[in-house]
Amino acid sequence: MAASTATAPTDRIDVFWDSGMLNHNSGNGVFDTGMDPGFLDVLEKHPENSDRVKNMVSILKRGPISPYISWLPGRPALLPELLSFHSSEYINELVEADRDGGKMLCAGTFLNPGSWDASLLAAGTTISAMKHVLDGHGKIAYALVRPPGHHAQPTQADGYCFLNNAGLAVQFALNSGCAKVAVIDIDVHYGNGTAEGFYRSDKVLTTSLHMNHGSWGPSHPQNGSVDELGEGEGFGYNLNIPLPNGTGDRGYRHAMTELVVPAIQKFEPEMMVLVIGQDSSAFDPNGRQCLTMEGYQEIGRIVRSLADRHCSGRLLIVQEGGYHVTYSAYCLHATLEGVLNLPTSLLSDPIAYYPEDEALAVEVIKSIKKFQKDNVPFLKGA
């Protein structure tokens, strides 16, 4: 591990966190099913468990990046804030499920005792982080939150998510006077909930780089395909980048430079939101995209440069997935190193080596670029 700088950092990331979010417990079972088949001596924790986030907190508090981190408290969201993105019927369903002692809302998504309070903390903490940036108290804020949120749609839960933390923060920015907000989602799964929430808006550019997994049932009807471009005024402002399995660091860098950067430059947002999930890593149980710390660091650098160029440096980072209890924390550290534009890595990659072949990804990215230029009005001529 390289030594951290001896001089006081001139740049910082303000991390919003509340330990009450650890009280969400999705239980044990076969992977994320909650099922006990009766013939296993050891039932594993649900992938979205508190251990993963405990390591993220500790690596930021005690790791070499700690001099660059400031800590701020979270808070629960208020009902009117929830209704800015979610329907009242859906919120009532969640409240009733909590009152009744819990409920499986969809496959793998368990609202248990303590889950609703944790969800309110995750939503409110993310909104507070956005407000912090908009009010000029800091340029870069990171909402270190769980349960995750980017699959939660206005009217239903999905994929371990109850409330759409990033979507609520984006809506708060719009309500606060931001003319345009850009969302870049690098979680391994399609940020379908956020996309759905702004599918008819030309004020929010939602861009998602994800594994090409398609729909996984009624809770996730969206495919995440390139032709899901938005509707009405929002047509062309939902850009999906479904990438082949094993895309890796070089493939993701190519997607960022060829697809994301030109779109952001044409859109010219006033506020940037980076939605991060370390489940795109080479060792995550939920993904197959083969990113290493180097790839996450490069993504962080690219997004920071876009925020500096278009948003006066204003950037909100929102935590989503990432289920390898150790490597997710390391990849978070690398992402934030990139966001800070540090000249050298502070932390070496303990399991970095993974063979890469980006040839297929490059071809896929080329075809997506052609499709977008042919079909997205604001990108024609980009």
**Local confidence band at 10 (pLDDT 50, 70, 90 cut-offs):** low
Residue 21: closest CA among 194, 142, 144:
144
Q: Write out pLDDT tens, residues 61-78.
A: 999 999 999 999 999 999
Tell me how far apart the alpha carbons of residues 318 and 83 are, in angstroms, rounded to a whole number: 20
Do residues 48 and 106 make contact, with C-beta atoms less than 8 angstroms apart? no
Do residues 154 and 90 make contact, with C-beta atoms less than 8 angstroms apart? yes
Mean pLDDT within 251-265: 98
Q: Write out pLDDT tens, residues 171-186.
A: 999 999 999 999 999 9
Q: Write out pLDDT tens, residues 268-305.
A: 999 999 999 999 999 999 999 999 999 999 999 999 99
Partnered with residue 143 across adjacent β-strands are 16, 318
Mean pLDDT within 368-381: 93
pLDDT score, position 9: 56
Mean per-residue pLDDT over the chain, rounded: 95
DSSP 43: P
Q: Is residue 357 in a domain?
A: no
Q: Is residue 170 in a domain?
A: yes
Mind telling me the catalytic residues?
151
Question: Helix, strand or coil for residue 260?
Answer: helix
Mean pLDDT within 22-42: 97
> Which of these ranges, 16-30, 136-150, 316-330, 352-366, has the smallest mean pLDDT?
352-366
Q: Is residue 115 in a domain?
A: yes
Do residues 333 and 278 make contact, with C-beta atoms less than 8 angstroms apart? no
% of the chain residues with pLDDT over 90: 94
pLDDT score, position 2: 42
41 residue type, one letter: D
Q: Answer yes or no: is pLDDT of 50 > 90.
A: yes
Q: Is residue 47 in a domain?
A: yes
Q: Write out pLDDT tens, residues 99-123.
A: 999 999 999 999 999 999 999 999 9
Q: Residue 118: which domain range?
A: 13-29+43-347
Type and span of the H or E element at 44: strand 44-45
Q: Write out pLDDT tens, residues 150-165.
A: 999 999 999 999 999 9
Q: Is residue 364 in a domain?
A: no
Do residues 196 and 164 make contact, with C-beta atoms less than 8 angstroms apart? no
**Local confidence band at 382 (pLDDT 50, 70, 90 cut-offs):** low
Q: Answer yes or no: is pLDDT of 359 > 70.
A: yes
Q: Write out pLDDT tens, residues 213-249.
A: 999 999 999 999 999 999 999 999 999 999 999 999 9
pLDDT score, position 3: 38
Q: Which residues contact 24 (CB under 8 A, 6 or more apart)?
A: 50, 112, 114, 115, 118, 119, 146, 147
As a whole number of angstroms, the longest Cα–Cα distance in the chain is: 60
* Domain count within the chain: 1
Is 96 buried (19+), middle (13-18) or exposed (0-12) by CB count in 10 A? Answer: exposed
Q: What is the CATH number of the domain that holds 112?
A: 3.40.800.20
Tell me how far apart the alpha carbons of residues 358 and 256 are, in angstroms, rounded to a whole number: 14
% of the chain residues with pLDDT over 70: 97
**Local confidence band at 352 (pLDDT 50, 70, 90 cut-offs):** confident
Q: Is residue 380 in a domain?
A: no
pLDDT score, position 357: 86
As a whole number of Å, the end-to-end CA separation of the chain is 42
Tell me how far apart the alpha carbons of residues 111 and 108 are, in angstroms, rounded to a whole number: 10
Q: Is residue 336 in a domain?
A: yes
Is 202 buried (19+), middle (13-18) or exposed (0-12) by CB count in 10 A? Answer: middle
